Amino acid sequence: MRSLIQFALRRPKTVIFAWIAILAAAAPFASRLAGALRGSTDAVPGSPSELVSRDLNNAFGTGSAFVFPAVLTSSSIPATDPRFAAAATRLERVLDSAGMRSVRHYWNTGDTTLLGRDGHSALMLVTPRAQTFFDAESTVAEIRGAARAAGSGSAFEIKVTGMISLFHDLDVNASDDLLRAERIGIPLTLIVLLLVFGAPIAAGLPLVLALGTIAITLAVLYGLSRVMPVSVFAQNAVTMVGLGIGVDYSLFLVSRCREELARGASFPKAVEAAANQAGHVVLVSGLAVCTGFLALFLVHIRFLHTLALGGVTVVVTSVLMTLTLLPSLLLIIGERLNWPRRLSRASRGTGGLWARWARETMTRPWRYLIPTLIVLGVLIVPTLRLKAWNMGARDLSPTMEARQGYELLDRNFSAGWMGPIAILVKTRDSGTVWTPEREGAMTAIYSRLASDPRAHFVGGFPHLLSLLGQARPLVHARSDLPAPMRTASAQVVSEDGRSALIFVVPRSAPESEEVMTLVRELRAESWQPARDAGLAIQVGGFSASILDFDSELFGSLKRVIPIVLTITFLALVFAFRSIVVPIKAITMNLISVLAAYGFLVYVFQEGVGAGLIGLVPPGGLNSFIVLMLFTILFGLSMDYEVFLLSRIREEYQRTGDNSKSVVSGLSQTGGLITSAALIMVVLFGSFGFTRLTATREFGLGLAFAVALDATVIRVVLVPILMGLLGRANWWFPAVLLPRGSDGRGRSGQNAVAYR
């Protein structure tokens, strides 16, 4: 680290030109990322729903697991008019020529369930040639473009919707939200920086470095998008984190530089001292944030791995720019850094508001500790009531096509057409489903599902059998079917006769709790008559995918949390030569995260104060947000902990007095920590007032946690606990210390053993 800093200090112009070249090369690719983003969900590899999707594609043809519902409407022409049939046929022909595998509608299937209740709408089921969810998502724009080019005239309108289209539109919406948040957050951040520094150049530097960090990271994400799926949340997460830590790290270094100048150091010496001293904080903090992102590789969802790589890139870039570009810029700028102000000389003292506060809390610890613990308890307890919530079409802007299509489905067909439940039936031997016993078993399943009040419509192989009527005993394979039924049968029974499909169109949307409960019940069902008949039952579809997605994300916390805690603990032990301080730091960070969860439960699940921010509470927390909040917040919280503890440790090494060290450390960092936190709260809070509920959860969760962490945690709990623990804070096994050294970094004094 020191070698890197020294190189930047010796050759500042070389370093500046190198970073300018990197930024110039990155900018064109960063600007293209929005067009390369894909959805914010995916099938969990090896999960039951992913296996069903794979088997559906194998049994019934590529894309069978990813059918798009498209609603054709006309306000003036009824569906019984020949012109309506002509429009549907024309659309079918255009979509076929665009590469779709099949397009089903009332006029080529005779299925009356594909006609709308209003008499002016028809449902078209478009099957793409797609092997995966992401492949299907990439065809949304193509389908919509082909539909618009069909030339149906102003009398007809087509809306392509469904869960895949929903996530496609989510990308567009989230990108717009990001721009809106940046337009609010960046100017407010600049205002806060101006208030902190009172000098425009000093205020602008942290923001410039943060924006440069983001540009490079977005360019890297664009490169990754060529080989891996990059979700819209990867863009949002790295932008939020890049702005937050980029400004924080630069703020620490610039503030330390100004502090050295105020003590009388020359400008070059002040820059060198600031870079070396703040560099330690930046490295340890960066390692903590990187650990959280790298832990995402423990989650078996591919697009999270891209997000992890983007997160690591933004952290590493921010650290490198802070340790090289920022010192170089400071040397070039020189004394103009503080224009138009002139810094007054300051002495090393422990006076001021923060010093008085530290002495007060350590003198009367229980007066402040008990109320603080009560407040934190009130915030943490709701975490026990946390429920999962998943995004649906209602979370999109009303201007989005998937939302408009959803409303048409809900009004004229059923919201369940957004993502029907798929029940795949397979024979467990070499026989086919075309036997009386197996047909009877599937008919029983069909009857049980059709009688469920949560089901709007049940179709599939048993429905096909019912249409045969008295001819049913004569059919033993697809080739025995009447010609008009042969094409339609390919969607519900495989060519070899060993797989059949039963699908359920629920009354409610796929993400609703009602449908989720139905899928859980179907998965828990034994289906004993079907098993006795030699059949295997698998339950899939988008609702099942959501359940598996949530299960993987919530389940992964059992792997992610221990790994993050362990690595962070070891890093802090190495950094501070203490056992107690790392344990305390990790505990404080966990409290911050749990309190953030509790806050979100209050607002987004239970609706407390939701009306004040114009929020319709969704009734739970998104599993993705829960995971991301932990991985990101744990690292971000370490910023302030490391910064505060580094100053306390410096003083302890100098004096050996724990109480004086805590007072001095807080007096020197309290104002800076609250300023840095205010900047993060402004940045993250700006994302809390966007349109997407998930983005609002993420932004407000981060903003609240940072605000709590920099106030209640760092300036109340930490000094109290440091005071109560005394010299035990710095206990470290002597056997682990370098030979000739003690806990205060000097030889010959045994200050580490706690007596």
Find out whether 591 and 713 touch, Cβ atoms under 8 Å. Answer: yes
Spatial distance between the Cα atoms of 634 and 698, rounded to a whole number of angstroms: 14
Judgement on whether residues 114 and 202 belong to the same structural domain of the protein: no
514 part of a folded domain: yes
Confidence of residue 736 (pLDDT cuts 50, 70, 90): low
186 part of a folded domain: no
Sign, CA dihedral 538-540-544-549, equals positive
Q: Quick one: which of 163, 136, 161, 160 has its CA closest to 150?
A: 160
Residue 345 has pLDDT above 60, yes or no: no
Residue 547 has pLDDT above 80, yes or no: yes
Strands, sheet with 157-160, edge to edge from the N-terminal-most edge strand: 102-104, 121-127, 68-73, 157-160
Judgement on whether residues 73 and 101 belong to the same structural domain of the protein: yes
How does DSSP assign 577-615, residue by residue?
S-SHHHHHHHHHHHHHHHHHHHHHIIIIIS-TTGGGGT-
Average pLDDT over residues 81-100: 93
Find out whether 39 and 523 touch, Cβ atoms under 8 Å. Answer: no
H or E stretch at 336: none
pLDDT value of residue 746: 44
Spatial distance between the Cα atoms of 279 and 639, rounded to a whole number of angstroms: 12
173 part of a folded domain: no
Judgement on whether residues 360 and 322 belong to the same structural domain of the protein: no
The CATH number given to whatever domain includes residue 136 is 3.30.70.1430
Residue 596 has pLDDT above 80, yes or no: yes
Average pLDDT over residues 128-151: 87
Find out whether 421 and 503 touch, Cβ atoms under 8 Å. Answer: yes
Spatial distance between the Cα atoms of 72 and 60, rounded to a whole number of angstroms: 25
pLDDT value of residue 446: 94
Last residue of a domain, one of 144, 166, 188: 166
Average pLDDT over residues 170-182: 77
Find out whether 308 and 228 touch, Cβ atoms under 8 Å. Answer: no
Residue 743 has pLDDT above 60, yes or no: no
% residues pLDDT > 70 (the chain): 95
Average pLDDT over all residues of the chain: 88
Q: Quick one: which of 612, 608, 625, 588 has its CA closest to 702?
A: 625
Spatial distance between the Cα atoms of 141 and 145, rounded to a whole number of angstroms: 6
pLDDT value of residue 185: 86
Judgement on whether residues 121 and 214 belong to the same structural domain of the protein: no
Model confidence pLDDT, tens digit, residues 193-224: 888 888 898 889 999 999 999 999 999 999 99
500 part of a folded domain: yes
| Higher per-residue confidence, 639 vs 382 | 382
Model confidence pLDDT, tens digit, residues 703-718: 999 999 888 888 889 8
Find out whether 62 and 146 touch, Cβ atoms under 8 Å. Answer: no
pLDDT value of residue 186: 86
pLDDT value of residue 595: 95
pLDDT value of residue 120: 96
pLDDT value of residue 499: 95
Spatial distance between the Cα atoms of 681 and 683, rounded to a whole number of angstroms: 5
552 part of a folded domain: no
Number of CB atoms found within 10 A of residue 31's CB: 13
Average pLDDT over residues 165-182: 80
Average pLDDT over residues 505-512: 95
Judgement on whether residues 432 and 379 belong to the same structural domain of the protein: no
pLDDT value of residue 57: 93
> Which pTM does this prediction carry?
0.85
Model confidence pLDDT, tens digit, residues 658-667: 888 888 888 8
175 part of a folded domain: no
Tokens of 710: 């920099």
Judgement on whether residues 326 and 359 belong to the same structural domain of the protein: no
Confidence of residue 349 (pLDDT cuts 50, 70, 90): very low
Average pLDDT over residues 135-161: 87
Judgement on whether residues 220 and 329 belong to the same structural domain of the protein: yes
What are the residues facing 421 on neighbouring strands? 504, 541
pLDDT value of residue 17: 96
Judgement on whether residues 137 and 242 belong to the same structural domain of the protein: no
Judgement on whether residues 359 and 460 belong to the same structural domain of the protein: no
Three-class DSSP category at 431? coil
Residue 351 has pLDDT above 60, yes or no: no
Tokens of 530: 């079907």
Judgement on whether residues 151 and 162 belong to the same structural domain of the protein: yes
Judgement on whether residues 211 and 308 belong to the same structural domain of the protein: yes
pLDDT value of residue 343: 59
| Higher per-residue confidence, 20 vs 254 | 20
Confidence of residue 735 (pLDDT cuts 50, 70, 90): low
pLDDT value of residue 350: 44
Confidence of residue 737 (pLDDT cuts 50, 70, 90): low
The residues near 147 (Cβ < 8 Å, ≥ 6 apart) are 70, 91, 94, 95, 158, 160
Last residue of a domain, one of 166, 185, 217: 166
Model confidence pLDDT, tens digit, residues 385-441: 999 898 889 888 888 999 999 999 999 999 999 999 999 999 999 899 999 999 999
Number of CB atoms found within 10 A of residue 638's CB: 28
Confidence of residue 747 (pLDDT cuts 50, 70, 90): very low
Number of CB atoms found within 10 A of residue 130's CB: 22
The residues near 615 (Cβ < 8 Å, ≥ 6 apart) are 603, 604, 693, 696
Average pLDDT over residues 73-96: 94
pLDDT value of residue 753: 35
Judgement on whether residues 635 and 739 belong to the same structural domain of the protein: yes
Residue entry with tokens 């903003």: 703
Please tell me which of 379-393, 565-579, 683-697 the model is most confident about, judged by mean pLDDT: 379-393
Q: Quick one: which of 544, 513, 277 has its CA closest to 388?
A: 513
Last residue of a domain, one of 546, 568, 589: 546
- Whether the link from the prior residue into 473 is cis, omega within 30° of 0, is no
Three-class DSSP category at 704? helix
218 part of a folded domain: yes
Residue 602 has pLDDT above 50, yes or no: yes
Average pLDDT over residues 728-734: 84
The CATH number given to whatever domain includes residue 253 is 1.20.1640.10
pLDDT value of residue 324: 94
Q: Which domain holds residue 305?
A: 1-31+198-346
pLDDT value of residue 738: 60
φ, ψ (nearest 5 deg) of residue 104: -110, 140
How does DSSP assign 60-110, residue by residue?
H-TTTTSPEEEEEE-SSS-TTSHHHHHHHHHHHHHHHHTT-SEEE-HHHH-
pLDDT value of residue 301: 87
Three-class DSSP category at 47? coil
- From residue 52, alpha-carbon distances to 56, 65, 424, 541 in Å are 6, 8, 7, 8
Domain count, the chain: 4
43 part of a folded domain: no
